[in-house]
């Protein structure tokens, strides 16, 4: 297996690292596929309770798709196929059944920014630069699906701003607009905080977090009035709900099982 994407589980927390620091962690097609496999197939048996996504080194989370991969693009079909695969990779990250934390440092652009946007929580080092500068670089475009997801996060006006001007959102602005929840000084502090957050999430009710993620995805796709009774019924009929109630009344810490 390629070392371009590393994944290990410690203390029931997954750490996924884009590992091409010499190329600012630019993403290959194989990295997109491996990322999707890990997120989409994350276990729900408690063996992994959160996943941290980050980039190797202090220069980038991921600086988009490796431009060398576009050299052989000559037809409309190639572009359509690429954007279809990219949108699918984003959807697989978004559908991860357990919480995901994007720990961002340096350049988070193009495909890297798309991946970060699909994570549940984002924190950043003060060196963050986030955006899609393709109007002044490659001259390509994003799919409607990718734009829809990004507009839900950033707002259509701000998304239009950064797409047309190709400017990058820096850490202070990212915090002010809610793109990231925290800004830390340097990569080391940022990673320490990411692990603290992951451990905190590992102590929370898995079904509550999973239901929240699932219903928000439905709302983004289908709008208000989305069907939710299957998810609500599963949670309220679960052993975890009974355990949470019993633990609360007994003033003890609940022992979640994820079922």
Confidence of residue 1 (pLDDT cuts 50, 70, 90): very low
Total of domains in the chain: 2
Residues 192 and 212 grouped into a single domain: no
Residues 74 and 147 grouped into a single domain: yes
With CA atoms as reference, report the closest residue to 1 among 26, 30, 23. Answer: 30
- Asked whether residue 66 is domain-assigned, the answer is yes
Domain CATH number, residue 26: 3.90.226.10
pLDDT of residue 109: 97
- Asked whether residue 257 is domain-assigned, the answer is no
Supply the DSSP string of 224-237, one letter for each residue.
Answer: TT---HHHHHHHHT
Residues 107 and 211 grouped into a single domain: no
What is the span of the domain harbouring residue 22? 5-202
Please say if the pLDDT value at position 179 is more than 50.
Answer: yes
Residues 177 and 216 grouped into a single domain: no
pLDDT of residue 220: 85
pLDDT of residue 223: 82
Q: What is the mean pLDDT of residues 33-50?
A: 95
Residues 171 and 231 grouped into a single domain: no
Lowest mean pLDDT among 53-67, 121-135, 220-234: 220-234
The tokens for 179 are 């793109």
Final residue of a structural domain among 183, 202, 221: 202
Residues 108 and 161 grouped into a single domain: yes
Give the tens place of pLDDT for each residue, 130-168.
999 999 998 999 999 889 889 999 999 999 999 999 999
- Asked whether residue 256 is domain-assigned, the answer is no
Residues 69 and 98 grouped into a single domain: yes
Give the tens place of pLDDT for each residue, 184-218.
999 999 999 999 999 999 999 999 999 999 999 99
Residues 26 and 141 grouped into a single domain: yes
- Asked whether residue 120 is domain-assigned, the answer is yes
Residues 188 and 96 grouped into a single domain: yes
Supply the DSSP string of 125-187, one letter for each residue.
Answer: ETT-EEE-GGGGTT-----HHHHHHHHHHH-HHHHHHHHHH---EEHHHHHHTTSSSEEESHH
Looking at the chain, the whole-number percentage of residues with pLDDT higher than 70 is 99
Contact criterion met (CB below 8 Å) for 197 and 141? no
Residues 32 and 82 grouped into a single domain: yes
Give the tens place of pLDDT for each residue, 23-34.
999 999 999 999
């Amino acid at each position: 297996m390629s070392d371009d994407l590393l994944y290990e589980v410690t203390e029931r927390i997954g750490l996924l690292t884009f590992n091409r620091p010499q190329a600012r962690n630019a993403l290959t097609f194989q990295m997109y596929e491996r990322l999707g496999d890990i997120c989409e197939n994350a276990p729900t048996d408690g063996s992994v309770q959160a996943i941290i996504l980050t980039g190797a080194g202090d220069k980038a989370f991921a600086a988009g798709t490796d431009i060398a991969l576009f050299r052989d693009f000559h037809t409309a079909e190639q572009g359509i196929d690429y954007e279809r695969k990219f949108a699918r990779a984003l959807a697989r990250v978004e559908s991860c059944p357990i919480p995901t934390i994007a720990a961002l440092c340096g350049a988070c652009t193009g495909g890297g920014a798309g991946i970060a946007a699909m994570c549940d929580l984002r924190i950043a080092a003060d060196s963050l630069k986030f955006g899609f500068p393709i109007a002044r670089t490659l001259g390509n475009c994003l799919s409607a699906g990718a734009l829809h997801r990004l507009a839900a996060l950033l707002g259509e006006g701000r998304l239009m701003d950064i797409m047309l001007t190709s400017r990058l959102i820096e850490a202070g602005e990212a915090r002010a607009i809610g793109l990231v929840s925290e800004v830390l000084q340097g990569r080391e502090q940022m990673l320490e905080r990411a692990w603290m957050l992951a451990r905190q999430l590992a102590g929370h009710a898995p079904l509550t977090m999973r239901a929240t993620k699932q219903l928000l995805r439905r709302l983004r796709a289908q709008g208000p009035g989305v069907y939710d009774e299957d998810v609500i019924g599963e949670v309220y009929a679960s052993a975890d709900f009974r355990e949470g109630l019993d633990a609360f009344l007994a003033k003890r810490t609940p022992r979640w099982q994820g079922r």
